[in-house]
Structure 1
């Protein structure tokens, strides 16, 4: 069945944590909405299935009708119905990204600007430094844990969003998460610069040929990712 609690979190980023040394490495983002509720976004930087490196695409001048459907402020969590015509995302059925432009990156390496954590750092730190920036984290919300502090940032109650990646065309034990119009992503609105940045992530083990009803792999060859080389992104605009 599809993921259970799909939606989008609109909030301000206040901190981040790189976690590369674990069984399931994630890039962790601490966010706070306009009402003062704290959230953690857990963003995968490595796959549990081979190949381990994720596909990524960063669009630093993202233009798409979905941005007009999102809350204008850090409004917190909004549940989204998984269907066309609203704010729900679908990498296969919507014109969100150019699949052929995706590349692969290792999760976390010594040195600068050479891994997926570095790439996320570049975008998230820019948002943390900009008091007007709002992050929109698409994915699945996990239930609030009133008696348990967040395991990364320590706020209480524990609360957050994960599955911030493509959520269809899975294989093996992850096929139960398949669905249409329920893909995860990170959008960053920079109103002072009048622009949006989008970060899209997918696993190389996922198929881009999926059933229009179930999101399961529909057969046919799995498109091969291009390259595997990392090209530094251009310097931030002034």
Structure 2
């Protein structure tokens, strides 16, 4: 069973704040900001990096994103759209669609030190503040919170190994699946939009129909 997945089309109502979450072998960092969804405030948590030099974030921050999905999203109603179980755009799959075609190479994030001056935090924070000040529409793809209102897992959600392997019939898996990748887009009032996409060094492609790495998979490059 796929996890609850989709996107919100919304406006930012509170400025982004950098917050940390301690994991067994690292500290992960997210930019959290508030958005308005059908009159309620939702929390958005966007992955921006980690302290683990062996599993850094790879990211794309593109200011000239062009893709036919833009017209689909413009036509979408404001609020949340559920895409659970959808296996075609506008659900996102970095491997099975051309969503990231012509967006250039992945960049390596800095090792996080708790400040907002490292990349991609500094650049993404500026984009989000601009979106808030200009009241731009933002589109956030990811998994919906199981408790409360929000969206997280705003990164590639397939290709992890070890304890994160997706077992058939396991509806508690929260790492690997297909057509459930996360991303952030901003309609900046131009034909081209801004796009933020992310993945981790220890996620591998290609993946199988459960989103698990295949025998010949390799780290994202």
Same fold (TM over 0.5): yes
In the alignment, the residues of structure 1 paired with residue 109 and residue 77 of structure 2 have an alpha-carbon distance, to the nearest angstrom, of 30
1:19 aligns with 2:19: yes
Higher strand share: 2
1:30 aligns with 2:27: no
1:121 aligns with 2:125: yes
1:90 aligns with 2:93: yes
Q: Given the two structures, how large is their TM-score scaled by the length of structure 1?
A: 0.77
C-alpha contact (below 8 Å) 2:205/2:217 kept by paired residues = no
Partner of 2:152: 162
Partner of 1:46: 49
Partner of 2:202: 205
In the alignment, the residues of structure 2 paired with residue 74 and residue 108 of structure 1 have an alpha-carbon distance, to the nearest angstrom, of 36
Partner of 1:140: 143
* 5+ long unaligned stretches in structure 2: 167-174
Tell me, what secondary structure is at the counterpart of 2:164? helix
Partner of 1:187: 185
RMSD: 2.6
C-alpha contact (below 8 Å) 1:46/1:53 kept by paired residues = yes
1:114-145 Cα offsets, whole Å, 9 max, x none, are 422112102111111112x1111100001354
C-alpha contact (below 8 Å) 1:179/1:216 kept by paired residues = yes
In the alignment, the residues of structure 2 paired with residue 86 and residue 95 of structure 1 have an alpha-carbon distance, to the nearest angstrom, of 9
Deviation of residue 195 (structure 1)? 2.9
Deviation of residue 87 (structure 1)? 0.9
C-alpha contact (below 8 Å) 1:20/1:108 kept by paired residues = no
Q: Given the two structures, how large is their TM-score scaled by the length of structure 2?
A: 0.82
Q: Cα–Cα, structure 1 residues 194 and 50, in superposed 2: closer, same or farther, change >3 Å? A: same
1:40-61 Cα offsets, whole Å, 9 max, x none, are 1111223587623200011211
C-alpha contact (below 8 Å) 1:105/1:116 kept by paired residues = yes
In the alignment, the residues of structure 1 paired with residue 185 and residue 163 of structure 2 have an alpha-carbon distance, to the nearest angstrom, of 28
* 5+ long unaligned stretches in structure 1: 146-158, 226-238
How many aligned positions are there? 207
Q: Cα–Cα, structure 1 residues 89 and 224, in superposed 2: closer, same or farther, change >3 Å? A: closer
1:1-34 Cα offsets, whole Å, 9 max, x none, are 64x101001110122111247543211121113x
